[in-house]
Every structure is written in structure tokens, then in C-alpha cells.
Amino acid sequence: MALRKTATVSSRKTSAKSTAKASNGGPIADFDRDEELKAYREMLLIRRFEEKAGQLYGMGFIGGFCHLYIGQEAVVVGMQMAQKEGDQVITAYRDHGHMLATGMEARGVMAELTGRRSGYSRGKGGSMHMFSKEKHFYGGHGIVGAQVSLGTGLAFANRYRGNDSVAVAYFGDGAANQGQVYESFNMAALWKLPIVYIVENNRYAMGTSTARATAQSNYSLRGSGFGIPGMQVDGMDVRAVKAAADEALEHCRSGKGPIILEMLTYRYRGHSMSDPAKYRTKEEVQKMRSEQDPIEQVRMRVMEKGWATEDDLKAIDKEVRDIVADSADFAQADPEPDASELYTDILL
Ligand SMILES: Cc1ncc(C[n+]2csc(CCOP(=O)(O)OP(=O)(O)O)c2C)c(N)n1
Ligand SMILES: [Mg+2]
């Protein structure tokens, strides 16, 4: 696979017209009406869920850390649309979107965020530590970069068992500078492990911009020393993500080993819930929101093509809002775990 060159993210404009190429020159998937509306719904669910999580945090219902995924929705939704049943997902702490995209229930995720009994980790894991073996979601990790090694282990297990599954390991631009990432790349390339490494390049690691922290800002090239191919992808366009995902998953499934997808994306909110945001201007955030918003891009396309009316989209919005409101009501009514649960499900 050819390595593609960087395109500047800032030159992109939201366009209602469907073009043959993504804004950085990469391929896009040709979505039909159902796919557009599915992508729209899934991304909206994540956004509304995250907005509600932010509210509940402000009201004191969620304790500890809480990292919102708002702005980055197209990445996980485009990837998930290309994956097959059995493909594993693992990510860092900015993880609620990944959980919802794998099909985990909003109720269980919200209950975990609020530390309740019906949460995915029985209220004992919180925002950063949730898992669902049934949905092949392996966390939720607070140690920056750790999920890359663990994800490589998942891929090793696939190879060892001789199954057809691919592991998808997400990590940030900051995590990409961790040493264990390269130890993992080495083993994955050596043993041709079926894994897609996704660098979610949202331009910041907490308050440090990529420009200040990295000697090689084209993260798709980070595997080149190991012969791992990579692509830069417009991570704000769900069709571009889907096209890259199709190619990458096929690469892995056909036994060619690992591949890296660098998703050019952006987070609208602060790193976590308290973030003075002195490291970027309000104008920078506003420009991304108004010109490249992943949900707005789909909305404009489906409206222009006559694939949905305002009312159709409002109905989707209502359905999604209802799911999210229900999850918040459920979580607040659910009891906290009993004190006797303190010593269960843990290694002593
Ligand atoms: C090993 C380790 N070092 C440092 C931290 C503190 N820390 C938490 S998040 C973060 C930034 C990571 O940024 P990035 O990988 O770009 O992910 P993003 O938050 O942008 O999604 C750091 C340094 C940590 N949790 N683990
Ligand atoms: Mg980052």
C-alpha cells in the first residue's frame, strides 16, 4: 500500500457536495441513504450522550475523570461500520464513543459513569475502565499507550487461535510518543499480527500541541522503520474513515500484518472536565466546528440529496435524545454498589 502524503487539515471546508475524494485527497466510501443515516444516528448518539455526561459531571453525579469525545465521532463510527463481528476494540480513556459504537448499552455506560450497580464494571470502574466481552470491547485504559500493547496481545491471540478477527487499537497523538508503542509495532510486524493501529490525531495531548511535542508529525509514517504501512485519513469525514477502514481491515485479514491509520481529527471540549484551554484559541475551535463538523457534513449531504427532510432528521434526534435521557434517568435511579462489593472483582 502506498504511503500517502499529508494534507493540511485547516484547508478543509464542509461541503454539501459529494466528491470522489476526501479533503486530503484520500478515498471516500460511496454511502447510500441507509449508510448515511446510520452514520448520522450513531454519531449523534455519541454526541448527545457526551453532552449529557458533561452535564451530569457538572451536577456532581459523575466523579473522577471524564474525557469527552465530542468532535471525533466520525472516527469510531466509520471504523465500526467496516468491522466484522468478532473484531476487537481497545482504546484509552476517551472511550464512551467507542463503547456506544460497539453496541454497548447507553444505560450501562451511564450507570458506570455515575458509579452505579448496573454499570458495565458494576460501578467500580468509572469512565476509564469499562469492558464488554460480548461486544468485544476491551477498555477503557488510563495508562497512556498501554492499550497499544494490550491490543497487540489481542491480535496475537487471533493469530494463535487461527481465527479471522482483527484487533483495532486506538491511541492518541500523545500516546504515539510512548516507547511501548514501538515495541508493539516491532512484534506486530515480525509476526504479521492482524491489527489496525489508529492514531486519533486531535492535535493535542492534554495542553501540548503536536507541533510542540513531536519530531515527526505525520503519524502514519511512524511504522515505516518496521515496514508497517500507513495512511492519513480525513477523520472528520465518516466516508473517508469507512474507506480507509475497509482497506486496512482487508490488509489485516489477508495476512499482511499490521497497518496504521492516522485520523486527522479534533476535540471540541477540553482534555478532561477541568481544562483552562489556554493552549488554543476559541477561534480555532469555532473554525473546526463550523467548517468540518462530522455530523453537520452528513446532515448537509442527506438534505441536499433529498434523502431526508428536516422532519426525518428531527425524528432521529428525538430518538437519540430519548435514549440518552433514559440512560441518565436510569443511572440516577440505580443504587450504588454495596460496600461489601469493595473486595469483589479485584486482584488482592
Ligand atoms: C503513562 C502515562 N503518562 C502520562 C499520563 C497523563 N496523561 C493523561 S492523558 C495524557 C495526554 C494524552 O494525549 P493523547 O494521546 O493525544 O490523547 P487525547 O487525550 O488527545 O485523546 C497524559 C500525558 C498517563 N495517564 N499515563
Ligand atoms: Mg491527542
- Whether 11 maps to a domain, the answer reads no
Low-confidence residues in the chain, pLDDT < 70: 1-20
Domain that holds residue 73: 21-327
- Whether 32 maps to a domain, the answer reads yes
Q: With beta carbons less than 8 A apart as the criterion, state whether 233 and 199 touch.
A: no
| Measured distance CA(299)–CA(304) in Å, rounded | 9
| Measured distance CA(208)–CA(45) in Å, rounded | 29
- Cβ of residue 202 lying under 6 Å from some atom of ligand 1: yes
- Whether 281 maps to a domain, the answer reads yes
In this structure, which residue's CA is closest to atom 11 in ligand 1?
A: 205
Confidence at residue 23, expressed as pLDDT on a 0 to 100 scale: 87
Distances in Å between the alpha carbon of 255 and those of 55, 120, 194? Answer: 45, 34, 7
pTM score, whole prediction: 0.94
Confidence at residue 12, expressed as pLDDT on a 0 to 100 scale: 36
Task: Give the chain's domain count.
Answer: 1
Confidence at residue 276, expressed as pLDDT on a 0 to 100 scale: 86
Confidence at residue 37, expressed as pLDDT on a 0 to 100 scale: 98
- Cβ of residue 271 lying under 6 Å from some atom of ligand 1: yes
- Whether 64 maps to a domain, the answer reads yes
| CA 285–ligand 1 middle distance (angstroms) | 20
Could you tell me the CATH number of the domain that includes residue 124?
3.40.50.970
Confidence at residue 15, expressed as pLDDT on a 0 to 100 scale: 38
pLDDT tens digit sequence for 270-294: 999 989 889 999 999 999 999 999 9
| Measured distance CA(151)–CA(154) in Å, rounded | 5
In this structure, which residue's CA is closest to atom 4 in ligand 1?
A: 144
250: CB partners within 8 A, 6+ apart: none
Atom of ligand 1 nearest to the CA of 172: 15
- Whether 109 maps to a domain, the answer reads yes
Atom of ligand 1 nearest to the CA of 173: 16
- Whether 3 maps to a domain, the answer reads no
- Whether 8 maps to a domain, the answer reads no
| CA 9–ligand 2 middle distance (angstroms) | 15
| Rg (the chain; Cα; Å) | 19
pLDDT tens digit sequence for 174-224: 999 999 999 999 999 999 999 999 999 999 999 999 999 999 999 999 999
Residues 101-107: contacts with CB within 8 Å, 24+ apart?
A: 101/42, 101/46, 101/76, 101/77, 102/132, 102/135, 102/136, 102/137, 103/135, 104/130, 104/132, 104/135, 104/137, 105/327, 106/45, 106/49, 106/323, 106/324, 106/326, 106/327, 107/326, 107/327, 107/330, 107/331
| Measured distance CA(201)–CA(203) in Å, rounded | 5
- Whether 340 maps to a domain, the answer reads no
